[in-house]
């Protein structure tokens, strides 16, 4: 039985610590957890990890980082090509990986009161079926199903899932994991200490600069935004800045078809997005929304007080999303409405400023992590206490 004075040992697991959304989520959770109540450590990959963005930020928090995890997601070409084609190689790699993770990571996992795994794909590629029966595992479900490389719901046997939004709840309920325990914890971050920026759009008739913050990966639906920009550029002088890493050449044919090759600038990944936005001064930023849910990039930019319009990937209507966000989040699923709303914003500087401020207030209220972290702490404690009963002989 746990002593009330004993800290709860939480092992947070992720396949890497690069500057992406799920890694930001890991960092924000680890930063916000009460260190008087929890002893937090990280399990991640060994290769090049000390060069990755969040490695240094996590060590600055005083956290121990164990660089021992190797998963099938780390396989690279040319082995990855053979791995995808040959069943015997997949079985061999899977067996070797399971042996490695048990040997290298077994004691770490068994000594933790809570194993918080960031991403269902991380669990399936590293720990299934080894930890399927463990009662102290919590999977933080980070993606929506359309972003999956394969249907991980069919492979996962864990029974505790932390979800980010309503869309994830619906996806889990429609999956083989329908009867699992779901706990809601939104994509939140520390926002109270962030200063607001002021980006003034150019006068009507001059070149209007728009910006997209996204990654150039297949799991990011960027094509609709390029099509919207092409329609908008036919109405006003405009250029589009695209902030995000990835291979821009995959959109070369589309940009040529839309006749906007000379109007789109791929700026690459920005380690300091605030500085880039101040430097380039876009009039409006465009990002993706899943109904009323938005990404870390969207939360971060909106909290600065910048005007933003969203492309909606959910089945919820514009009116439904507006009602759920107190009129703050304008998200569209058709090109004509998206373009028309942007044009109206640009024609009315007062409305543009009010739009940005309204969204900023909404984001700072809804996504501030201090509003939610205590409930996650209580949930972790519940998991730890439950596993004490089921597994009393955990390694000290």
* Beta carbons of 40 and 63 less than 8 angstroms apart: yes
Architecture of the domain delimited by 208-366 = 3-Layer(aba) Sandwich (3.40)
Give the contacts of 378 (CB within 8 A, at least 6 positions apart): none
Give pLDDT, residue 85. Answer: 56
- pLDDT tens for each residue of 271-280: 888 889 888 8
Cα–Cα distance for residue pair 242/285, rounded to 1 Å: 10
Full-model pTM: 0.83
Give pLDDT, residue 29. Answer: 97
Cα–Cα distance for residue pair 18/103, rounded to 1 Å: 25
- pLDDT tens for each residue of 298-331: 898 898 888 999 999 999 999 999 999 999 999 9
- Centre a 10 Å sphere on the Cβ of residue 187 and count the other Cβ atoms it contains: 20
Give pLDDT, residue 241. Answer: 97
Give pLDDT, residue 93. Answer: 62
Q: Where are the domains of the chain?
A: 8-190+369-390, 208-366
Same fold, 8-190+369-390 and 208-366: yes
Architecture of the domain delimited by 8-190+369-390 = 3-Layer(aba) Sandwich (3.40)
Interval 7-35 mean pLDDT: 94
């Amino acid at each position: 039985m746990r002593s009330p004075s004993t800290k709860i040992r939480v092992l947070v697991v992720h396949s890497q610590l690069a500057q992406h959304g799920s890694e930001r989520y890991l960092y924000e959770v680890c930063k916000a957890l009460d260190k008087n109540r929890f002893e937090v450590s990280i399990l991640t990959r060994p290769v090049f990890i000390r060069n990755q963005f969040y490695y240094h930020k996590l060590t600055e928090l005083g956290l121990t980082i164990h660089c021992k995890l190797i998963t099938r997601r780390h396989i690279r070409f040319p082995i990855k090509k053979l791995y995808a084609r040959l069943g015997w190689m997949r079985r061999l790699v899977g067996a070797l990986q399971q042996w490695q993770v048990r040997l290298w990571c077994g004691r770490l996992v068994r000594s933790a009161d809570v194993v918080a795994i960031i991403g269902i794909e991380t669990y399936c590629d590293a720990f299934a079926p080894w930890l399927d029966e463990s009662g102290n595992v919590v999977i933080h479900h980070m993606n929506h199903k359309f972003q999956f490389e394969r249907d991980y719901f069919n492979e996962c046997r864990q029974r505790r899932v932390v979800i980010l939004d309503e869309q994830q709840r619906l996806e889990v309920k429609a999956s083989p994991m329908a009867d699992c325990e779901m706990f809601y914890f939104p994509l939140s971050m520390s926002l109270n200490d962030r200063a607001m920026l002021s980006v003034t759009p150019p006068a009507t008739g001059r070149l209007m600069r728009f910006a997209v913050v996204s990654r150039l990966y297949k799991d990011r639906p960027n094509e609709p935004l390029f099509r919207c920009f092409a329609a908008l550029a036919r109405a006003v002088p405009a250029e589009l800045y695209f902030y995000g890493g990835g291979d821009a050449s995959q959109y070369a044919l589309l940009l040529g078809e839309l006749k906007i090759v000379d109007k789109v600038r791929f700026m690459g990944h920005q380690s300091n997005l605030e500085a880039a936005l101040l430097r380039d001064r876009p009039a409006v930023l465009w990002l993706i929304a899943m109904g009323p849910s938005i990404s870390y990039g969207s939360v971060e930019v909106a909290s600065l007080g910048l005007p933003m319009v969203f492309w909606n990937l959910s089945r919820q209507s514009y009116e439904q999303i507006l009602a759920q966000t107190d009129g703050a989040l304008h998200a569209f699923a058709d090109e004509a409405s998206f373009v028309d709303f942007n044009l109206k914003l640009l024609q009315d500087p007062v409305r543009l400023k009010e739009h940005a401020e309204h969204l900023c207030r909404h984001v700072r209220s809804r996504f501030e992590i201090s509003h939610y972290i205590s409930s996650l702490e209580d949930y972790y404690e519940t998991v730890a206490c439950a596993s004490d009963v089921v597994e009393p002989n955990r390694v000290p």
